[in-house]
A = this chain, B = another copy of it.
Amino acid sequence: MGELRRDPIVGRWVIVDTDHPIAPKDFQYEQYIQKGGVCPFCYGNESMTPPEIECFREQATAPNTPGWQVRVVANKFPALQIEGDLNRRPLGLYDMSNGVGAHEVVIESPYHAKDIPDLLPDEVENYIKMCGRRAIDLAKDKRFKYLMFFRNYGPSAGASLEHPHTQIVALPMVPKNVVEEISGAKSYFDYRERCIFCDMIRQEAQEQERIVLENKFFLSFCPFVSRFPFEVWIIPKQHSGYFCHMSNEEMRALAAILRETIAKVKNIFPNLSYNYIIHVAPINGDTDIEYYHWHIEFMPKLTQVAGFEWGTGFYIDPITPELAAKYLKS
Q: Contact at A167–B98, with CB atoms within 8 Å? A: no
A15, A180, A312 interface centre (most CB from chain B within 10 Å): A312
- Residue in chain B with minimal CB distance to A4: B97
User: Is the CB of A138 closer than 8 A to any CB of chain B?
Assistant: no
User: Is the CB of A254 closer than 8 A to any CB of chain B?
Assistant: no
User: Is the CB of A279 closer than 8 A to any CB of chain B?
Assistant: yes
Partner of A79, one of B2, B86, B171, B305: B2
Partner of A312, one of B6, B171, B225: B171
Report the count of interface residues on A (CB-CB < 8 A).
Answer: 71
Please indicate the chain B residues that have their CB under 8 angstroms from the CB of A169 in the complex: 308, 312
Assess A310 versus B277: contact at CB under 8 Å? Given A1-B81, A5-B96: yes
Interface string of A4-26 (1 = CB under 8 A from B): 11101011110100000000000
In the bound complex, what is the Cα–Cα distance between A135 and B306 (angstroms)? Answer: 21
Please indicate the chain B residues that have their CB under 8 angstroms from the CB of A276 in the complex: 307
Q: What is the CB-to-nearest-CB distance from A27 to chain B, in angstroms, rounded to a whole number?
A: 13
Interface string of A140-170 (1 = CB under 8 A from B): 0000001010111000111100000001010
In the bound complex, what is the Cα–Cα distance between A297 and B313 (angstroms)? Answer: 15
Please indicate the chain B residues that have their CB under 8 angstroms from the CB of A97 in the complex: 3-4, 6
User: Is the CB of A106 closer than 8 A to any CB of chain B?
Assistant: no
User: Is the CB of A37 closer than 8 A to any CB of chain B?
Assistant: no
User: Is the CB of A275 closer than 8 A to any CB of chain B?
Assistant: yes
In the bound complex, what is the Cα–Cα distance between A311 and B312 (angstroms)? Answer: 17
Q: Contact at B2–A81, with CB atoms within 8 Å? A: yes
Please indicate the chain B residues that have their CB under 8 angstroms from the CB of A146 in the complex: 312
Q: What is the CB-to-nearest-CB distance from A115 to chain B, in angstroms, rounded to a whole number?
A: 15
User: Is the CB of A80 closer than 8 A to any CB of chain B?
Assistant: yes
Q: Contact at B177–A312, with CB atoms within 8 Å? A: yes
Partner of A177, one of B158, B167, B304, B313: B313
Q: What is the CB-to-nearest-CB distance from A122 to chain B, in angstroms, rounded to a whole number?
A: 25
In the bound complex, what is the Cα–Cα distance between A277 and B86 (angstroms)? Answer: 33
**Interface segment, one of A52-60, A196-204, A255-263, A285-293:** A196-204
Assess A99 versus B157: contact at CB under 8 Å? Given A176-B10, A277-B311, A299-B310: no
Task: Scan residues 312-330 of chain A and give those whose CB is less than 8 A from a CB of chain B.
Answer: 312-314, 316
In the bound complex, what is the Cα–Cα distance between A5 and B10 (angstroms)? Answer: 24
Partner of A94, one of B158, B225, B279: B225
Please indicate the chain B residues that have their CB under 8 angstroms from the CB of A93 in the complex: 8, 196, 199-200, 203
User: Is the CB of A36 closer than 8 A to any CB of chain B?
Assistant: no
Please indicate the chain B residues that have their CB under 8 angstroms from the CB of A152 in the complex: 306-307
Known: A6-B96, A79-B308, A158-B304. 16 other contacts (CB 8 A): A2-B79, A2-B81, A3-B97, A4-B97, A6-B95, A6-B97, A10-B176, A13-B173, A93-B199, A150-B310, A152-B306, A157-B306, A177-B312, A275-B307, A277-B307, A277-B310
**A interface residue numbers (CB < 8 A to B):** 1-6, 8, 10-13, 15, 79-81, 83-84, 86, 91-100, 146, 148, 150-152, 156-159, 167, 169, 171-173, 175-178, 180, 196, 199-200, 203, 207, 224-225, 275-277, 279, 297, 299, 304-308, 310-314, 316
